[in-house]
Chains A and B, each alone.
Chain A
Amino acid sequence: GAGVSQSPSNKVTEKGKDVELRCDPISGHTALYWYRQSLGQGLEFLIYFQGNSAPDKSGLPSDRFSAERTGGSVSTLTIQRTQQEDSAVYLCASSPSRNGYTFGSGTRLTVV
């Protein structure tokens, strides 16, 4: 597609439920990133995929968070047993290599 696509755009879930957030990067971009943005806060790095290399998971806040990238394209961020503090906008970005990111519009997650 022309840009990075994220779905759903909004997600409301009950505390304790699992959620899956999807990211379709720009075709041909080898790098894919997930960031989290809490209300009025900056961008917190979560995880980074580059080609076939092992992902950099150093930013995942707990073992309830995981992500995978299938076939070097689509990525899914999974949050298990959601907590209220998980409420945030989850942003995905992709990059061809050594250039600036292109971000999607994000998924706004609300845990009630």
Chain B
Amino acid sequence: GENVEQHPSTLSVQEGDSAVIKCTYSDSASNYFPWYKQELGKGPQLIIDIRSNVGEKKDQRIAVTLNKTAKHFSLHITETQPEDSAVYFCAGQVDPRDDKIIFGKGTRLHILP
């Protein structure tokens, strides 16, 4: 089955700098890759997603890139702010016929003042 690996597990960046989180997946048939942000005491919240027919998607300070050949995708956060501190999860869709997705183990992002 699908396996999603996520790195790093912890990331600290200075406020205003950029943060990059990287993920790889194993199933070449996967075609949907969402990213979730989880703040303390809350459930994960979808922040951006990308489908395999595009290589990049951007939403304000957040962007995601996808390399299907290498089977990896990345989250980029620019001009980081204190409220970006959270745990971020990448995920991949296992079966294009349904919505079940498999999550990476998460990256704890700390924005340093």
Residue ranges of A at the interface with B (Cβ–Cβ < 8 Å): 4, 31, 33, 35, 41-43, 45, 48, 50, 56, 91, 93, 95, 97-106
Contact = CB atoms under 8 A, between A and B. Distances in A.
A98 B106 contact: no
Interface string B88-107: 01000000001111111110
A103 B45 contact: yes
Contacts of A100: 34, 36, 46, 49
Nearest to B49: A100
Interface of B: 6, 32, 34, 36, 41-46, 49, 89, 98-106
A42 B104 CA distance: 6
A7 to B, nearest CB: 13
A45 B43 contact: no
Contacts of A4: 43
Nearest to A101: B46
B42 A43 contact: no
Interface hub of B36, B41, B44 (most chain A Cβ within 10 A): B44
A28 to B, nearest CB: 15
Nearest to A108: B41
B102 A45 contact: yes
A95 B18 CA distance: 31
